Structure 1
Amino acid sequence: MFNSSLVSHFVLGAYIDIGSLKYAAFLILLLMYGGILLCNLLLIVIICLNRTLHEPMYLFLCSMFFNELYGSAAIFPMLLFQVLQDIHVVSSVMCLLQIFVLYSYGGIEFATIALISYDRYLAICRPLRYNSIMTPNKTAVLIALTWCYFILVNVFITYGLTAPLTLCGNILRKIYCDNYYVVRLSCFDTRVNNIFGLTHMFSVVLGIILLIIYTYVRILHVCLNGSKQTRQKALSTCTPHLLSLINFSFGAFFEIVQSRFDMIALPNPLRVFLSLYWLVVQPLINPLVYGLKMTKIRLVLRMLLCGK
């Protein structure tokens, strides 16, 4: 796959030898993956089958839950396989595929969080114009553009910039494949990869962050100057979204910092935890947060469970 006959596979060098505890780790990971599949699929089915939930915010949430299934499929099966092995290797083809899925998952997740922020801004700050601005067609276009953009960009990054590299090693100090770590193995100058990666990351991430900050500054302004009913509405609809935003931003930030700055002083178990946090915790808690906090979802779920 790469321009080197020596690199047909990668060694994942961050795994810790835990002896017989690997079976307990396997069971924990299996239960977590089962919980992610069950909760996200349940909420997708609830939103798709119930017409009262065919509103922009719930459609954005449906896209988010589907994306979390997509990202989890790239990390959990490999973790479940690798944790039982004594030698942790992955083929170069599977490594590139994992990089592509995980990076597109991260971009889609962050962009979807921004879309929900924009939707909440319109609902709270522009309630009279909400239905005319956030139409079903516009909602579908925004979701489609989010998926298409990040999939196409990551096709270019993974298969246009990373795959042609000639590598002088095959050991990744991670428990899964990471584009930055693969690029660092290149025998030659990777300036183009680094410039494009940093430029794209800062431009897209900065744009999304500015949109989120603007929407919540406006929402806060309305809450401070609005009625008690307005504050309660904003609080009930924005709390789960803020929890999701903070959790994902925290995990992604620490993953970027510990990868880019090579924080080898940190204990290996802590580095493993930080690198997995944004991939494991987000799809696990998001369905719980939205399912418990969003009144409409909670009511429909209660009706289904009670058989009404």
Structure 2
Amino acid sequence: MENSTVPLYFNLTMFINIGHYRYPAFVVCLLIYCFIMFANAVLITVISREKSLHEPMYLFVACLSFNALYGSIGFFPRFLMDLLSDTHLISRPACFIQLYVIYTFAAYELTLLGVMAYDRYAAVCHPLHYHRKMTIKTVTVLATIAFVYPAFSISACLFLSMKLPLCGNKIHKVFCANWNIVKLSCISTVSNNILGMFVTITTVFCPLFFVLYTYLRIVLVCWKSSSEFKGKVFQNCLPHIVSFATYSITVFCDVSLSRYDLEKVNPILAVILSLEFVVITPILNPLVYGLKLPAIRKQISRILLIDKIVMK
């Protein structure tokens, strides 16, 4: 406790010196950021404008796109600044704000994917009662729970982390991470670990097992159905399966990386693995849902066609 402090700044130490390559890297990351913002904004606009898309599945897709915008705004501006900077200090308040945004973004993604799995389960396994089960009121309640619970639970985790006396200020990441801050503590972190485990179970493992359960039920229903029915179900469920599998893999990579001795990992590989879940999913979701779901693809094509005609 003698050397404990409340640092005014944290030092993000995973940034590596790439010399003049920082400028091409900055341009590439800026283009990725612009694409994420544009593609997800288009998806939200199309779904909000077209009444034919005001159905549970598409409304949840719009929520995913909104979450992608939220997470990208919380991560990319600061990351782009750090790419061009020689020092990578971030103030304590800015660090915890970034931490809150990135962690809630990650939790929202999983809870929303869990809610979408229930929607697919209701549509396939209970088609006659689907419209009675999935009303606009139900969609609103499910989406609210998917956003509200992670917001409060992660706030509680960060509140405990903010109270810890720290014996250092170095965070070996390219963005602020709660586990890295907790490891700097000069005192016991048992309460942080218990609460963190509870939040992880409820926001990560519960949605994970629920999605696996719902798709097991869907597979059992499809097993006894016609090939035409199987094809239709596969077409509607494939985007969700791709999103869920991709996000699960990227989150697993980041969590595994945070528990590993990073000095034994190639620094470029470590940076790539730590960035996957904040970059790949916001890029992939609009591509998967925009191109794979016929109703959305049709509306996007129609709007683009109208714009071309107007411009002529």
Q: TM-score range by the shorter chain?
A: over 0.9
Aligned residues: 305
> What is the rounded CA distance, in whole Å, between the counterparts of 1:295 and 1:121 in structure 2?
20
SS of residue in 2 equivalent to 1:83:
helix
Residue matched to 1:251: 250
Q: Is the 8 A contact 2:56 2:119 kept in 1?
A: yes
Residue matched to 2:98: 98
Aligned 1:259-298 pairs, distance under 5 A = 259-298=258-297
> What is the rounded CA distance, in whole Å, between the counterparts of 1:117 and 1:236 in structure 2?
14
Tell me how far 1:68 sits from its aligned partner: 0.7
Residue matched to 1:22: 22
Tell me how far 1:30 sits from its aligned partner: 0.3
Letter of the structure 1 residue corresponding to residue 115 of structure 2: L
Residue matched to 1:170: 169
Tell me how far 1:229 sits from its aligned partner: 1.7
> What is the rounded CA distance, in whole Å, between the counterparts of 1:292 and 1:117 in structure 2?
19
Identity of aligned residues (%): 37
Aligned 1:19-58 pairs, distance under 5 A = 19-58=19-58
Q: Is 1:79 matched up with 2:79?
A: yes
Aligned 1:79-228 pairs, distance under 5 A = 79-158=79-158, 160-228=159-227
Q: Is the 8 A contact 2:8 2:91 kept in 1?
A: yes
TM-score normalized by the length of structure 2: 0.95
Tell me how far 1:132 sits from its aligned partner: 0.5
Q: Is the 8 A contact 2:115 2:146 kept in 1?
A: no
Tell me how far 1:155 sits from its aligned partner: 1.5
Tell me how far 1:200 sits from its aligned partner: 2.3
Tell me how far 1:161 sits from its aligned partner: 0.6
> What is the rounded CA distance, in whole Å, between the counterparts of 1:191 and 1:289 in structure 2?
41
SS of residue in 2 equivalent to 1:169:
coil
TM-score normalized by the length of structure 1: 0.96
Tell me how far 1:63 sits from its aligned partner: 0.7
> What is the rounded CA distance, in whole Å, between the counterparts of 1:143 and 1:63 in structure 2?
8
Letter of the structure 1 residue corresponding to residue 302 of structure 2: M
Tell me how far 1:205 sits from its aligned partner: 2.3
Tell me how far 1:264 sits from its aligned partner: 3.3
Tell me how far 1:6 sits from its aligned partner: 5.1
> What is the rounded CA distance, in whole Å, between the counterparts of 1:95 and 1:119 in structure 2?
36
> What is the rounded CA distance, in whole Å, between the counterparts of 1:174 and 1:164 in structure 2?
21
SS of residue in 1 equivalent to 2:168:
coil
Tell me how far 1:5 sits from its aligned partner: 5.5
> What is the rounded CA distance, in whole Å, between the counterparts of 1:218 and 1:263 in structure 2?
40
Tell me how far 1:204 sits from its aligned partner: 3.6
Letter of the structure 2 residue corresponding to residue 80 of structure 1: L
Farther-moved stretch of structure 1 (144-153 vs 79-88): 144-153
Farther-moved stretch of structure 1 (39-48 vs 160-169): 160-169
Tell me how far 1:216 sits from its aligned partner: 0.5
List gaps (5 residues or longer) in structure 2.
Answer: none
> What is the rounded CA distance, in whole Å, between the counterparts of 2:279 and 2:23 in structure 1?
19
SS of residue in 1 equivalent to 2:221:
helix
Tell me how far 1:145 sits from its aligned partner: 1.3
Tell me how far 1:157 sits from its aligned partner: 1.3
Letter of the structure 2 residue corresponding to residue 301 of structure 1: I
> What is the rounded CA distance, in whole Å, between the counterparts of 2:20 and 2:203 in structure 1?
44
SS of residue in 2 equivalent to 1:11:
strand
Q: Return closer, same or farther for 1:255/1:120 CA change in 2, 3 Å cut-off.
A: same
After superposition, give the CA deviation of every residue in 1:116-158 in whole Å (9 maximum; x if it has no partner). 1111111111110000011110100110111111111122111
Tell me how far 1:202 sits from its aligned partner: 2.3
Letter of the structure 2 residue corresponding to residue 100 of structure 1: Y
Question: Superposition RMSD on alpha carbons, in Å?
Answer: 1.4
Letter of the structure 2 residue corresponding to residue 211 of structure 1: F
Letter of the structure 1 residue corresponding to residue 140 of structure 2: A
Tell me how far 1:260 sits from its aligned partner: 2.1
After superposition, give the CA deviation of every residue in 1:162-193 in whole Å (9 maximum; x if it has no partner). 11111111011111100000111111111110
Q: Is the 8 A contact 2:40 2:286 kept in 1?
A: yes
Tell me how far 1:263 sits from its aligned partner: 4.5
